[in-house]
Amino acid sequence: MRLNKYLSEAGVCSRREADRLIEKGDVTIDDHVATLGEQVEGHEVVKVKGKRVGEMPDEIYIALNKPIGIECTTNRQVKDNIIDYVGYPERIFPIGRLDKPSEGLILLTNDGDLSNAILKARHFHEKEYIVTVNQPVTSAFLKKMGSGVPILETVTRPCKVAKISERTFSIILTQGLNRQIRRMCEALGYRVRKLKRIRVLNIELGDLQSGKWRHLSESEIQNLKAIIRQ
């Protein structure tokens, strides 16, 4: 097994993060400094920054209703970081990001492979949001949002958009550009007043209260893994 996959499955970090640690010389195998692409069989003593990698932990999958103001970072020096906010006793990390001024569903896990699979842009994985803006939602606005908006030197993928009330609409994205919905609205002369994510693939926010989290059910986990294998 490649070393970066071994570290990912051991819950240490994602494969990408593992490669960075290896490049920095922070990973050793049987007391020699590991190199990128190195293979392990499982019996070796693997250490990261001098600490031995233990047995593979149980997989953890959590759904959090992130409140406004919480930062989706694993850097615990950042005020109001999501790791300290959740306070889970084992190492976990968020899958992707949800802007600090935004709220709603974000998944956290220790499964680096699942996280990477969800985040790969080519898979067109759906994320659904409810958005409130500063002026009435018109049919022209909905049509432009749904057909693609020029931002960040590209044009957003076509997406599903539906009006909910005078100033509120739902949108289902299959990509994750930086501050995408806010930038799309701004490009069309609108400002986002409230943005809430209510679904990631098959996982729904439901009635989970703001600031609360729950473990995913076994059926949710199995269905999630089936979707990302497609």
CA nearest neighbour of 108 among 126, 130, 89, 128:
89
Cβ neighbours for 185, distance < 8 A, ≥ 6 positions apart: 131, 133, 145, 191, 192
Strands 192-200 vs 103-109: parallel, antiparallel or unpaired: parallel
- DSSP for 78-139 reads STTBHHHHH--SS--EESS---TT-EEEEEEES-HHHHHHHH-GGG---EEEEEEESSPPPH
Q: Token digits for 29?
A: 């195998």
Cα separation, 124 vs 208, in Å, equals 26
Q: In a 3-state reduction of DSSP, which class is residue 185?
A: helix
CA of 160: how far to CAs of 10, 17, 104, 166, 167, in Å? 38, 33, 19, 18, 17
19, 31, 58, 99: the catalytic one is: 99
Note if 99 is an active site residue.
yes
> Which residues are the active-site residues?
99
